Each structure stands twice: as structure tokens, then as C-alpha cells.
């Protein structure tokens, strides 16, 4: 469905995008805590399981957020074909990478930024495709491929690009201030019986 920025459909999509990014943020924080724990206390199957699950959730929610952002940019709620989603993610990642490199080269990057050598000039051609496939295998679908998906290799090859996407999105969609945002029915969810309690017998 086509819509315009600022209309009711756009407002509803923005709520969904905010929710999806906050889920992504939760997953990233869980991953960081679990990864730190595995470094400090040593690795074992249990910590690997917990860290894998958190990273798989991070990949899943970041991918879904990016697809939702593409829909907003296109002003159309229609589902994106995988090739179109990959093209959007690749283009957005390359823009962020270009901006990072430019800031480093011009001396305007923050003090904590990585050395220019950390960032190649171009994202890998297969990054967006591997992002989508890893998300599908690790989190979205139950498949026989899951037990052979090398998520460690994916992390080593592509985490810098996922992290760039995450930090860029956080600047727009992350939490602001101390008050949690109103996400309509999402933040109205309750397990308590309030308005229509069951009849007394």
C-alpha cells in the first residue's frame, strides 16, 4: 500500500520501526554481555549457545528493521523481494562506510573511531546476501542448514558492517531521554485482567 510521510500509515510504520529497532538494541546488548562473559569466564557450550542466540536475534531484528526502513523510504508497505532488500542494505551500508572513511580522512571523526585501515573502500559484494541468508538460517527458519552455518565466520567477516548499520539506526531510532516511548498497543500490553474480569461463580 502506498502512503505519504506523515500520514496514518506512516505513523503506524514508524511505531513498528521503533519497536523493531528497540528489539535489535536489546539483542545487541544481550550479545555484548554474553560475549564479555565468555571472554572473562571462558567458553563452553552453554555460553556459546547463549551468545549465538543473542547474535542471531541481533541479525534478525537488524535485518527486519532495514527492510522496514526500505519500505518507508519507498513509501510503500508492499513486501520487498530479496534482491531489492539486499540492494537497499548494500547501498545504505556503502553510504555509511563512505561517511566513516571521509570523517577519518578529514580529521572530523571522534577520538574513539577506528583507524582508516579498519574500513575498506567498498563493502564486500556478497555482504547483503550473506546477511539475509544468515538471518534466515540462524533465526528465521528451522532448517537443516542451521547446524552447519558458521556464524563465527560470518561475525569475523561482516560484524563491522552490521555494527555500522546498528549505530547509524540507533542515532535516529534509539531511546531518547528517560521516558520510554508510547508504542500504542505494544506498550499497552498487559497480562493483567483489567476491564472485563471473568464473572464470579
State the residue for C-alpha cell 571523526: 109
Q: Contact 118/164 with Cβ under 8 angstroms? A: no
Tell me the whole-structure pTM to 2 decimals. 0.91
User: Which three cell numbers mark 196?
Assistant: 472485563
pLDDT in tens, the chain (201 residues): 999 999 999 999 999 999 999 999 999 999 999 999 999 999 999 999 999 999 999 999 999 999 999 999 999 999 999 999 999 999 999 999 999 999 999 999 999 999 999 999 999 999 999 999 999 999 999 999 999 999 999 999 999 999 999 999 999 999 988 899 999 999 999 888 666 666 676
E strand or H helix at 50:
helix 45-74
C-beta separation of 184 from 176 below 8 A: no
| Residue 190 vs residues 15, 50, 185, 198: alpha-carbon distances, Å | 18, 27, 10, 16
List, in order, residues 6 or more apart from 62 with CB less than 8 Å away: 24, 162, 165, 166, 169
- Residue 201: the pLDDT is 65
Amino acid at each position: 500500500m502506498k502512503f505519504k510521510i506523515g500520514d496514518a500509515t506512516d505513523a503506524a510504520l514508524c511505531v513498528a520501526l521503533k519497536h523493531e529497532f528497540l528489539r535489535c538494541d536489546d539483542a545487541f546488548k544481550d550479545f555484548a554481555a554474553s560475549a564479555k562473559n565468555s571472554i572473562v569466564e571462558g567458553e563452553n557450550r552453554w555460553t556459546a549457545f547463549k551468545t549465538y542466540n543473542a547474535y542471531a536475534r541481533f541479525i534478525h531484528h537488524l535485518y527486519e528493521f532495514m527492510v522496514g526502513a526500505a519500505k518507508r523510504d519507498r513509501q510503500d508497505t508492499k513486501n520487498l523481494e530479496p534482491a531489492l532488500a539486499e540492494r537497499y542494505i548494500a547501498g545504505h551500508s556503502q553510504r555509511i562506510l563512505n561517511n566513516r572513511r571521509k570523517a577519518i580522512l578529514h580529521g572530523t571523526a571522534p577520538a574513539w573511531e577506528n583507524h582508516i585501515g579498519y574500513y575498506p573502500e567498498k563493502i564486500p559484494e556478497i555482504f547483503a546476501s550473506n546477511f539475509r541468508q544468515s538471518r534466515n538460517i540462524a533465526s528465521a527458519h528451522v532448517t537443516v542448514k542451521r547446524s552447519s552455518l558458521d556464524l563465527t565466520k560470518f561475525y569475523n567477516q561482516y560484524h563491522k558492517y552490521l555494527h555500522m548499520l546498528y549505530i547509524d539506526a540507533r542515532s535516529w531510532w534509539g531511546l531518547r531521554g528517560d521516558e520510554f516511548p508510547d508504542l500504542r498497543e505494544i506498550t499497552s500490553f498487559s497480562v493483567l485482567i483489567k476491564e472485563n474480569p471473568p464473572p464470579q461463580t
